[in-house]
Structure 1
Amino acid sequence: MTFLAFDFGTKRVGVATGSRFSGSAEALKSIALEGEARFQAIARLIQEWQPEALVIGVPFHPDGAEHEITLRARKFGRQLKSRFRLPVHEVDERYTSVEAESRGARDVDSASAALILEQFLRENP
């Protein structure tokens, strides 16, 4: 089963791909577009990779409380589900950007998306 994962941000969305077979994820790119252009870029990636499901990172405060970006990330997930008619899974993505930065990622957003997908694959074998 192939997945595309997204690290949602208001300026950029990081994208990664991976599969249950490999149990790993690969950072693809960051999309620095907004509105319809963002979804068109995602549509091209979906066409290219043919995922069976999508995974999105949903951020929370350290204490588990929601904040504005939590709500926006969930809205983004609902938009993906309605536009592309694929299952969308949410993953708590606290600290993925910090971890990606500590690993020296050149593209923190797509590296964060890969970490989100790897977490999903570990939690859902």
Structure 2
Amino acid sequence: MGSKTVGVSVSDLLGWTAQGVEIIAIDEDKAEFGLDRVAELAQKYDVQGFVLGLPKNMNNTIGPRAQKAQDYGELLKEKFGLPIDFIDERLTTVQATRMLVEEADTSRKKRKKVIDKLASVMILQNYLDSKGKLTTL
């Protein structure tokens, strides 16, 4: 979850692979967190729980961004009553950018449109690899 967008990914039915779905525009300042769209996607994909990236500081502490992610998790939990899991996402966006630049030679303009979705895929895939969860958003 960023301050302007939320990248959304889902797992396959077996919980083995993550696929990017979309990027939801949000506005933290206006407390608009895209929950209506999340609800639509949760229903469409029969979501059983949520996984959120937790952007810890490099020294493993919880800073303002990580606190906002935890707050967003609480919003999701209240609205949907589903389990919420967090996974350390440090450097995920850096890795996603590197993949788009070095491996795909993607232009800066195109990168901005897909970076959050790719980062969400990486976060969910890391989670699936470590936990073996079924369909998550």
Per the TM superposition, whether the score is higher than 0.5 is yes
Map of 2:18 onto structure 1:
25
Query: Where do residues 58-73 of structure 1 align in structure 2 (5 Å cutoff)?
Result: 58-73=54-69
CA distance in 2, matches of 1:58, 1:84: 20
Where in structure 1 are there 5+ consecutive unaligned residues?
A: 1-7
Larger Rg: 2
SS in 1 for 2:58: coil
Give per-residue Cα distances to partners, 1:59-108, cap 9 Å, x unaligned: 01111121100100000001101101111111011011011111117411
Larger fraction in strand: 1
Corresponding residue pairs, total:
118
Contact kept, 8 Å, 2:12 with 2:19, in 1: the verdict is no
- TM-score, normalised by the number of residues in structure 2: 0.80
* 2:79 aligns with one of 50, 73, 83: 83
Contact kept, 8 Å, 1:20 with 1:121, in 2: the verdict is no
- Identity among equivalent positions (%) equals 28
SS in 1 for 2:60: coil
- TM-score, normalised by the number of residues in structure 1: 0.87
Give per-residue Cα distances to partners, 1:20-44, cap 9 Å, x unaligned: 6251101111111334461111111
1:40 aligns with 2:33: no
CA distance in 2, matches of 1:54, 1:95: 20
Where in structure 2 are there 5+ consecutive unaligned residues?
A: 101-105, 133-137
Larger fraction in helix: 2
CA distance in 2, matches of 1:86, 1:27: 20
CA root-mean-square deviation: 1.6
CA distance in 2, matches of 1:123, 1:20: 17
CA distance in 2, matches of 1:24, 1:96: 17
